[in-house]
Amino acid sequence: MNFDFNGSSFLIIVTIFIYYLAKRNPSLATILYVALFLRIFTILLSQIILVLPDGVGDAGRFELRAYELSKLGISNLLLNYPGFNSFFISWFIAIFYSLFGHSELMAKALSLFFGMNSIYLGCVVSKKIWGPNISNKVGWTLAIFPTLILYSCIILREAYIYFFLLVALNGIVDWVRFKNFKSFIKLFLGFVLAAHFHGAMIIGLITFLLVIFYQSLRKLFISTIKLKISLKSFSYFIILLILSLIVYTKEFRVPKIGSLTNFDEKIDLILTQIKNVDKGTAKYPRLAVPENKSELYYKIPIRIIYFIGAPYPWDINKPGHFIGFLDGILYLALTFLIIRNRKVILSDPNLRIILLILISYLIVYSIGVGNFGTGIRHRSKFVFMFVLLAASLLPKITLYKSSKYK
């Protein structure tokens, strides 16, 4: 096996950057170092000994497309910005290939960079919501969560989505506190950039805008009754009303979804898509597959249950499915903790919004995903939201006393 200088250099750069973050945040140092060790060890294993789960297939296609695009040269790449596209990741990696040369290890190092920074951002967001002690538990959970390790080590979109979704959540938490333009730009860019890697991620932004629209409408209604309308509330209402009208036009198209008009046609399209994706050895059972519009509505909860926890014991029909079963147990455990934590969640404005966004994602992805093989990968996009909502009930993990937040 030839030594990959470029890829190794990028791994060293990521390591140095994480060391810098650890020095700037001593309370996170142990968490970051353990997370980095686990991920670099996994990358090296994939380079030398074994092929990781999900390390081929889409990962191979994304990497090959990146290599082909890199031949265009940096100037042509920048002139051919792909926008919301499944192969946006390939375009992004191709920029590095065109600048530094072809290296799969370098592409994995890029996933590592975004995956590690997601852990750091997860700690930042949880500290703002829960405080330092609970944030410590969140950090450890994210550091050792199996699928977060896996998808930070292979050439898939997930690590990038983790990061930009957390940028958006960080913006939401700041918005709840400050309600300033900077916070809105942060959350807006986070959702939009996440949607570049997978279009359905824009649903989070739409859900947030609907929440703010409802809150502004409620405040405006109360103010009207009291004959005391604030300019700020009225301005929010008008701006969000205009945005809503723009969204609800045939010209406005949501990535992966299209226009939000012609609802009946969308339902027919969804039913067709479900029948197309519910295939293979990891397909959902007939219980979760709707045959018509009326069945779709009442089977969405069943599909959400499958999206969160499948494969279940009765779905296992080959050894590889057992790994997915163990992964599902973790999500079901987090779901149980969220249900137990519901009073705290509903009393906190940050957590209420995060919960609503998580529910909207679960509905959309449960409809679009029809087998638990793909579901394992897609549900990992929302690990951070599950963990943030369950944070106060997570088990405490420490290596030694000095790892506590001060």
Whether 375 and 306 have beta carbons less than 8 Å apart is answered as yes
Whether 109 and 10 have beta carbons less than 8 Å apart is answered as yes
The pLDDT value given to residue 232 = 59
The pLDDT value given to residue 404 = 46
Neighbours of 326 (CB within 10 A): 10
- Give me the helix-helix angle, 383-390 and 158-178, nearest 10°: 40
Side-chain half-sphere of 218: how many Cα atoms within 13 Å?
6
* DSSP three-state, residue 109: helix
What one-character DSSP code corresponds to residue 258?
Answer: E
Q: Which residues contact 283 (CB under 8 A, 6 or more apart)?
A: 370, 371
240-299 per-position pLDDT tens digit: 666 666 655 555 555 555 555 555 666 676 677 666 665 666 788 888 888 877 788 889
Report d(CA 143, CA 36) in Å as an integer. Answer: 8
The pLDDT value given to residue 229 = 55
Q: Which residues share a beta bridge with 371?
A: 283
Amino acid type, 52: L
19-76 per-position pLDDT tens digit: 999 999 999 999 999 999 999 999 999 998 888 999 989 999 999 999 999 999 999 9
The pLDDT value given to residue 307 = 95
Give the global pTM: 0.90
> E strand or H helix at 376, and its extent?
helix 372-379
Distance of CA 106 to the CA centre of its chain: 22
Whether 290 and 278 have beta carbons less than 8 Å apart is answered as no
The pLDDT value given to residue 101 = 96
Say if residue 178 is exposed, middle or buried (CB neighbours under 10 Å; 0-12, 13-18, 19+). Answer: exposed
Tokens of 310: 């499948």
> E strand or H helix at 198, and its extent?
none
The pLDDT value given to residue 398 = 67
Amino acid type, 141: T
**H, E, C per residue of 38-61:** HHHHHHHHHHHCCCCCCCCCHHHH
Report d(CA 383, CA 96) in Å as an integer. Answer: 28
Mean per-residue pLDDT pooled into runs of 10, the chain (406 residues): 88 98 96 98 92 92 97 95 93 97 97 98 98 95 98 97 98 95 95 95 93 80 61 62 60 56 63 66 81 83 95 88 94 98 97 97 90 92 98 83 44
Q: What does each C-alpha distance from 154 to 58, 115, 126, 376 come to in angstroms? A: 10, 10, 26, 15
* DSSP three-state, residue 254: strand
The pLDDT value given to residue 219 = 72
- Give me the helix-helix angle, 263-277 and 293-309, nearest 10°: 50
- What is the DSSP secondary-structure string of 210-228? HHHHHHHHHHHHHHHHTT-
State the distance between the two ends of the chain, measured CA to CA, in whole angstroms.
46
- Give which of 313, 322, 324, 355 is closest to 337, Cα–Cα: 355
Amino acid type, 39: R
The pLDDT value given to residue 253 = 59
What one-character DSSP code corresponds to residue 202?
Answer: G
Q: Which residues contact 93 (CB under 8 A, 6 or more apart)?
A: 62, 63, 66, 107, 110, 155
Report d(CA 142, CA 117) in Å as an integer. Answer: 11
Tokens of 250: 């045939």
